[in-house]
A = this chain, B = another copy of it.
Amino acid sequence: MNLEPPAGLRDFTPEIKILRKKIFNRIEKIFIRYGFDPIETSTVEYWDILKGKYGEEAENKLIWRFRLPYSDKEYSLRYDHTIPLARFYSRFQFPLPFKRYVIDKSYRYDNPQKGRYREFYQADFDIIGSREYTSDAEIINLVIEVFKEFKFNNYKIIINNREFLRYIFEKLLSINQDKIFKVYNIIDKLDKIGIENVEKELNSILDTDTSNKIINIIQLKDQELIDYLSKFNDLNELINYNNNIFDLLVDKKNVELSLSLVRGLDYYTGMIFEARVDEPKIGSLAGGGRYDNLIGKFSNRDIPAVGGSIGIERLIDAGIELKIFKMKKKTYTDLVVVYFNNTLKDAWSICNKLRSIGINCYIDIMSRDFNKQIKYAVDKDIRYLLIVGEKEIKNGFVLLQDRETKERINIKIEELDNIKNIIYK
């Protein structure tokens, strides 16, 4: 019998789960520091809600959608956190701005590979209700903070604006609507396929002059790009908007302005961004942007929004490969209470006391002898032993042993509270 979950789905052992919980927790703290609050939406959505939102490929291959043998309704599993947010927001219509985060699973029936799974956690953060550059800046700052938190130093955040793209490619270079999506698609692959291949592909659908111009423009960065864009008066306001965002960033070092970023989803309307690391080659670790026409879809209202998503699975896979994340803890248990046949009841009452003051304890439940009880601590790297011996108990104390320093301390039974100060110092 196949004991693994279906392809692209996963089990997490305590070691991995403990590491993941720590990572999730640190990311969540950043969201909260930035004034975002948590929400939760249902795992299962009516297919009607997701239908028509994610494009053909998703609908025909990627969305987990189904009927039950005993239900006519068609259901689907959450495909991302954005459409559920739109439904959720329309349902409750909270006062604006509404800043929410979520760290939860999405489900895609994709081809499983490294960093890509059929169920995967995403950390999403969105600001609903603001059209201001300040909200764009907050979203990008969150991503910068996450990379800084974990001391990734090889990250790069690329920023662009859909309105720059429209102006330069559609208005200035007059690429017509038949070709524009192909052109965007090719440009967007720059990071993956390199400039020569982009040039080759562009040449196959555009005249050489236009193609050359594009090749030049998408290689411009930061001030060079601003200088170029400044030639066009129509773009003044947008350049200002963009500069204002940059002014508010907590760390501009690894942030880059470039017209080479397009991003696949067609719901973006303004600023867009993507975060990558040089190594390992695992695709983008985060992305997002402004989408002013989506949230109001379910309520026929005009509601601006900006947000982003961190691909936690890729972040973790990349972090493990870069040795930023290490599976160090096998257990949350900090202390093993060790006892003998004739001290079982004393040991249990001591263990209960320790647990009641917040110490994470293991006590043998296998009728094992002294040495095997200690082996449990050794196997799980649990640092402290509390030995409950008959003679010691009679004299009113127990023995605390630090397996790391080999130190042994007598602890009076009335003073068990002290153990907390010793082990959680």
Taking A11-B88, A14-B100, A66-B67 as contacts, is the C-beta distance between A2 and B46 under 8 angstroms? Answer: yes
Which residues in window 353-380 of A have CB below 8 A to B?
A: 355-356, 358-367, 379
A270 interface contact, C-beta 8 A: no
Contact status of A331 and B96, CB under 8 A, knowing A10-B42, A65-B69, A134-B365: no
- CB distance B35 to A14 under 8 Å? no
Given A12-B39, A365-B132, decide whether A44 and B2 contact each other with a Cβ distance below 8 A.
no
Q: B-facing mask of A112-143, CB < 8 A → 1, else 0?
A: 00000011000000010110101100100100
> Smallest distance from the beta carbon of A190 to chain B beta carbons, Å?
31
A interface, how many residues as a size bin? 35 or more
Report how far A319 CA is from B37 CA in the complex, Å: 23
Highest count of chain B CB atoms <10 Å: which of A13, A65, A100, A138: A13
Given A1-B298, A11-B88, verify A18-B38 contact (CB < 8 Å): yes
Question: Which of A70-78, A166-174, A178-186 forms contacts with chain B?
Answer: A70-78
Report the minimum CB–CB distance from A248 to chain B (whole Å).
5
The reply to whether B71 and A109 form a contact with Cβ atoms under 8 Å apart is: yes
* 15 CB < 8 A contacts A-B: A5-B44, A6-B46, A11-B40, A17-B40, A29-B358, A42-B119, A44-B107, A65-B69, A66-B66, A66-B69, A71-B109, A134-B365, A138-B365, A145-B355, A248-B348
